[in-house]
Amino acid sequence: MTIKDRGNIKWSSMMLTEHREELEKWAKETRKQEKPILDEQKLEEINYLLYQSLKQGVSLWINYFNDGEFIHLKGVVKDYYPLKKELLFKVKNKDVQLILSNIIDVSIG
């Protein structure tokens, strides 16, 4: 007979706050992934779709790499800053500044 347990939830009330914080930090560190390296063809495809969104207002899905995690955003490119190599991406009612080198994938949404 197996007993279904609640994992750490059962013992969390007896844990020190510092221990719980360290466990959460450790779990986040173990989930981190490496940034993939993109080839020329993929970079050209990303560039083309970003340009289409900027000029024609095409809605895009962007897969963005940030601190070991992948973030999925849907919106429209609002502005491009070539000197900073960043773009302003409008997500719902909020503007998000994205570093171009951290964009992993783009698709029409």
Task: Tell me the average pLDDT across 6-27.
Answer: 72
What are the residues whose beta carbons fall under 8 Å from the beta carbon of 86, sequence distance 6 or more?
80, 97, 98, 99, 100
Domain count, the chain: 1
Q: Which structure tokens are listed for 104?
A: 């992993």
Instruction: Report if residue 71 sits inside a domain.
Output: yes
Dihedrals phi, psi of 66, to nearest 5 degrees: -145, 115
Q: What is the span of the domain harbouring residue 75? A: 40-108
Instruction: Report if residue 21 sits inside a domain.
Output: no
Instruction: Report if residue 82 sits inside a domain.
Output: yes
Mean pLDDT of the chain: 86
Instruction: Report if residue 50 sits inside a domain.
Output: yes
Instruction: Report if residue 75 sits inside a domain.
Output: yes
44 pLDDT higher than 80: yes
CATH number at 50 reads 2.30.30.520
68 pLDDT higher than 90: no
* pLDDT at site 1: 45
Instruction: Report if residue 45 sits inside a domain.
Output: yes
Q: Which structure tokens are listed for 34?
A: 């490496």
DSSP 83: T
Single-letter amino acid code for the residue at 53: S
8 pLDDT higher than 70: no
Task: Tell me the average pLDDT across 12-38.
Answer: 79
What are the residues whose beta carbons fall under 8 Å from the beta carbon of 104, sequence distance 6 or more?
35, 36, 38, 63, 64, 65, 70
Instruction: Report if residue 2 sits inside a domain.
Output: no
40 pLDDT higher than 90: yes
Instruction: Report if residue 32 sits inside a domain.
Output: no
Q: How confident is the model at residue 79 (pLDDT cuts 50, 70, 90)?
A: very high
Q: How confident is the model at residue 46 (pLDDT cuts 50, 70, 90)?
A: very high
